[in-house]
Chain A
């Protein structure tokens, strides 16, 4: 099943002119962008504002819920404004859930997974996009086919293997199975097949560069925007991964999502604390979005799959 067929970009987008200095060729095209762009009217702003509100509201409400007591949350109508227990609930969630260690672990896990996924996906994506080798199409199909394996059931055999290795409750148990991603390979391949002018590689070859140098000096600079996007997608995904970590890890050495499962402690589950936990688990990503938002979004802008 050549899923690649529909998304193969060569069929539509005209081949880019090679950048004359070997820099990212994209810019050449971006030049004339301003020209005839349509201007947004009030209707546009209104629609966008509504959707922005819809995007942000559940998050804001999570914060509101996290600032109230169990008894207040149980009343009707639900609270619309912030209460006075936000710090108390956050503190409670932080302490009962082993959050300090969980955050450290999660940054480490998600960071490692991100670096390796992006690196390996770029290499493989480049090979699939621009190099010629035997069984290439078959192998690419295999990669895409692996995206279709339903992840839940891998848990049992995977855990048997992990246990055999004595890795239960160790971070490598959640890192190693996620070190590569078929989506990533596919993503990078789709980008590079179109964004990386073959002439650039040939020119580098002419100058006597070996494969590694080609990757370093030609592929990576071109691939950077897509790598940034893939990094963000992977990091967020790894951060929020839940199903496998809760089996492989325990709360003695948790990731954020595992730690959060221990929140309903005390005599009675405290909704406010649980919401505070949900907030704590999301907040670091939101802060990162706020800080790097422009770069991340900019990266997506440049690097998204055009084809």
Chain B
């Protein structure tokens, strides 16, 4: 029961074209097996994810298939979120080419929950316990009518990863509690420590890029780009102003390595210790470990950020187009249940979005040996408790990307704060205009 409003005209055009194509191609099907066909009475459930999702790698599918031998799970993974989401958007209105379960990034959850909810099932209609999730996580995937379209997999409580060798060489403390105390509750102190750091003769920058600072700071506020009534307020919001000024301070005082995040060069900068600190959500630890490799073992540690925020995290949604909604909802619920989330954290380091899972001993007592046995369970739990309930809006991602672009220009091309801000506002206004 698709509820898309379709204008007559385009529908007829599409059907007409379809008929024409059929006529043209009467006998050319290089076709392939149906994705939804089951062998015997087995049901195949498909899961579409992006990037380094890790459900499969954590062995969760395998276990589920063992527990339910009538289910076969197939995963489709698209490396880049920028490829994944537009393809999903193109497919949704047609109800075609969709997986039974689709992963949704937190940056897109508002749009999915509030503007595209007709394409997804309401988990309330199925026997799913949603009570164990962290309140803010559940709220993000619940629309005004109370429909729950996504179940949270993980969240990204943030701290600061830092290089103890650089700290030591610059005469800064290296103990993680002392480091946390250097900038407790004060982002400006974090930047000022950086200025102090670069004045020492350590051959490294303080932080990767100005946009990273912005990102870390802005996510510690509830209201960022939208206010609670849904108005775009980024130009006036305190969060944006504070974060922007801190980021510009970092850029202008030359304490950044000017490396755009997640590019190959940034990876290498991590490996070579080109910057001493980087804001670190839970899922970043494994990333650093892999990029820095054996050579970086024992050099990194983990401390609290001045104030905690959230970066990243995802949801699982079941599409209306699915032929096995019941089973898909069951699988999604199982994958995000407290036990599995706890395991997911132990295997992959993705911090649970389930309040129950957070209390499980394998989460609460976890340490990370690559980060000098930092008690990450305790640290992330403390951070998670301080995460504000963000006010989200449909175009959060665009706004955030354009701000990152403006700051990158300031960082790498020496634009002044005013120039960069003006260019950022122009870009955002252009992007948001109908």
Indicate yes or no for A touching B, C-beta below 8 A: yes
Residues on A facing B (Cβ under 8 Å): 69-76, 105, 108-109, 112, 155-157, 159-166, 168-172, 175-176, 246-248, 250-253, 261-271
A174→B371 CA distance, assembly (Å): 48
Question: Cβ of A171 and Cβ of B293 under 8 Å apart?
Answer: no
Question: Cβ of B287 and Cβ of A175 under 8 Å apart?
Answer: no
Asked if A156 meets B25 with Cβ closer than 8 Å, knowing A169-B35, A268-B291, the reply is: no
Query: Closest residue to A158 on the B side, CB-wise?
Result: B17
CB within 8 Å of A: which B18-75 residues: 18, 21-22, 24-25, 28-33, 35, 46, 48, 51-52, 54, 56-57, 74
Asked if A74 meets B268 with Cβ closer than 8 Å, knowing A160-B14, A161-B18, A252-B76, the reply is: yes
What's the interface size class on B, roughly? 35 or more
CB within 8 Å of A: which B249-267 residues: 264, 267
Interfacial chain A residues near B56, Cβ < 8 Å: 265
Interfacial chain B residues near A109, Cβ < 8 Å: 30
- Whether, in the assembled complex, B434 has its beta carbon less than 8 Å from a beta carbon of chain A, the answer is no
Question: Cβ of B79 and Cβ of A156 under 8 Å apart?
Answer: no
Asked if A271 meets B35 with Cβ closer than 8 Å, knowing A175-B30, A250-B97, the reply is: no
Question: Cβ of B77 and Cβ of A265 under 8 Å apart?
Answer: yes
Q: Please name the 8 residue pairs, one residue from A and one from B, whose CB atoms are nearest each other, closest first.
A: A71-B293, A74-B271, A264-B79, A163-B94, A163-B96, A168-B97, A268-B290, A171-B30
- Whether, in the assembled complex, B144 has its beta carbon less than 8 Å from a beta carbon of chain A, the answer is no
A262→B35 CA distance, assembly (Å): 18
Looking at the complex, which one of A108, A175, A252 makes contact with B46 (CB distance below 8 Å)? A252
Known: A165-B21, A253-B33, A269-B52. 17 other contacts (CB 8 A): A73-B264, A74-B293, A75-B268, A160-B93, A163-B94, A164-B18, A164-B94, A168-B94, A170-B32, A176-B21, A176-B24, A247-B97, A250-B48, A264-B52, A265-B77, A267-B54, A268-B290
Residues on B facing A (Cβ under 8 Å): 10, 14-15, 17-18, 21-22, 24-25, 28-33, 35, 46, 48, 51-52, 54, 56-57, 74, 76-80, 83, 87, 90-91, 93-97, 99, 264, 267-268, 270-272, 286-287, 290-295, 348-349
Query: Closest residue to A116 on the B side, CB-wise?
Result: B28
Query: Closest residue to B96 on the A side, CB-wise?
Result: A163
Asked if A161 meets B293 with Cβ closer than 8 Å, knowing A170-B31, A246-B83, the reply is: no
A-B contact pairs, 24 of them (CB 8 A): A74-B268, A74-B271, A74-B292, A112-B30, A155-B90, A161-B21, A163-B91, A163-B96, A168-B96, A169-B97, A170-B31, A172-B30, A176-B21, A176-B25, A246-B83, A247-B97, A250-B48, A252-B46, A262-B79, A267-B52, A267-B287, A267-B348, A268-B287, A269-B79
Interfacial chain A residues near B97, Cβ < 8 Å: 159, 163, 168-169, 247-248, 250
**B266 → A minimal CB distance (Å):** 10
Question: Cβ of A176 and Cβ of B79 under 8 Å apart?
Answer: no
Asked if A74 meets B52 with Cβ closer than 8 Å, knowing A112-B30, A268-B286, the reply is: no
A160→B18 CA distance, assembly (Å): 10
Query: Closest residue to A254 on the B side, CB-wise?
Result: B76
Query: Closest residue to B17 on the A side, CB-wise?
Result: A161
A252→B271 CA distance, assembly (Å): 35
Query: Closest residue to B98 on the A side, CB-wise?
Result: A168
**A262 → B minimal CB distance (Å):** 5
**A159 → B minimal CB distance (Å):** 5
Query: Closest residue to A171 on the B side, CB-wise?
Result: B30
Asked if A266 meets B25 with Cβ closer than 8 Å, knowing A71-B295, A169-B97, A261-B83, the reply is: no
**B369 → A minimal CB distance (Å):** 16
Query: Closest residue to B289 on the A side, CB-wise?
Result: A268
